[in-house]
A = this chain, B = another copy of it.
Amino acid sequence: MVNTAQVTLETRGNAQILDITPHLHDALEDLDVTEGVLHVFLPGSTAALTTIEAEPGAIADLRAAIERLAPADIPYKHNETAHDDNGHSHVRAALIGPSLTIPISEGALVLGAWQQAVLIDFDTEPRTRTLVCTAVGE
């Protein structure tokens, strides 16, 4: 069985890190798969998906690491070519990536005890984001 659901979220941008685990569990209820995998994808080039222990300390640490990796305050060519201000957002999103695959067992996501799925919105202003969730299994 292959079923799809969408999750829509309002984000603030500027490297906001949102715990999407509860939203994915809500989506799972409609997807009718109890054993298999959930593929989560973020359409868009200025946000990304990963997992982390979503407590304020680790979230602040991840944001600081990303700021070192692709600082917001250095020149980006995208800001010239596209007359935009989010060159760093594009680079950060490409480095982290837009897709995540999580196992499903007994109708629930298989995650570590302190592991949450997160969306990081790197854009420079609030956005409406739609995650595409595809469950494959039985």
A interface list, Cβ under 8 A from B: 2, 4, 35-37, 39, 41-45, 50-53, 55-58, 60-62, 65, 68-70, 76-82, 87-88, 90-91, 93-103, 105, 110-112, 114-116, 118, 132, 134, 136-138
A44's nearest neighbour on chain B, judged by CB, is B112
Given A57-B76, A57-B77, A69-B65: A100 touches B97 (CB 8 Å cut-off): yes
Q: Which 3 A-B pairs have the closest CB atoms?
A: A57-B81, A57-B78, A57-B77
Contact A43 B111, beta carbon cutoff 8 Å: yes
Return the contact of A51 from the options B37, B82, B94 (Cβ within 8 A). Answer: B94
Return the contact of A36 from the options B88, B111, B134 (Cβ within 8 A). Answer: B134
Chain B residues with Cβ below 8 Å from A118 are 94
A36's nearest neighbour on chain B, judged by CB, is B2
Chain B residues with Cβ below 8 Å from A132 are 103, 105, 110
Chain B residues with Cβ below 8 Å from A116 are 45
